Amino acid sequence: VMVMSPAAAAAAAQVDGDALCDAVAVLAAEARDRGSRLDASSEQASSLRRRCQEAESELGSLRLNASAAAHDDADNRAQLTAARERHDKLMRRTEEAEAELAAAEAAAPAAH
């Protein structure tokens, strides 16, 4: 067993302490770097989550608008169909009235 003098033991402890401090400093720097990257990553993730929520909200609005437009379109088609039916009825009544008028005009000279 080797016996060291107190001065040599103190010097060896100082070297070991310095090496340990250097290792701790390296680990601390790595931890700060990882923490910074994690913060940046967290900020980026938060930003992406915010953008996704905004996109989802906009998509919901677009779906609602599309649904309302489809409903309006269906209403417009129904109104157009009803207007066409009224038009067709009026055309038939007009044709019938014209035919009755023509028959009355044809019968009128024969009555005189």
Q: Is 5 helix (H, G, I), strand (E, B) or coil?
A: coil
Q: Which residues contact 12 (CB under 8 A, 6 or more apart)?
A: 4
Does the pLDDT of residue 21 top 90, yes or no?
no
CA distance 4 to 57: 75
Question: Which percentage of the chain shows pLDDT scores above 70?
Answer: 95
Q: Of residues 3 and 27, which shows the higher confidence score?
A: 27
Give the model's pLDDT for residue 1: 59
Select the highest-mean-pLDDT range: 1-15, 34-48, 68-82, 89-103.
89-103
**50-91 residue pLDDT tens:** 998 898 889 888 888 888 888 888 888 889 999 999 999 999
- Angle formed at CA 57 by CA 56 and CA 63, multiple of 5 degrees: 85
pTM of structure: 0.44
Token pair recorded at residue 49: 């989550």
CA distance 105 to 56: 72
Give the model's pLDDT for residue 59: 87
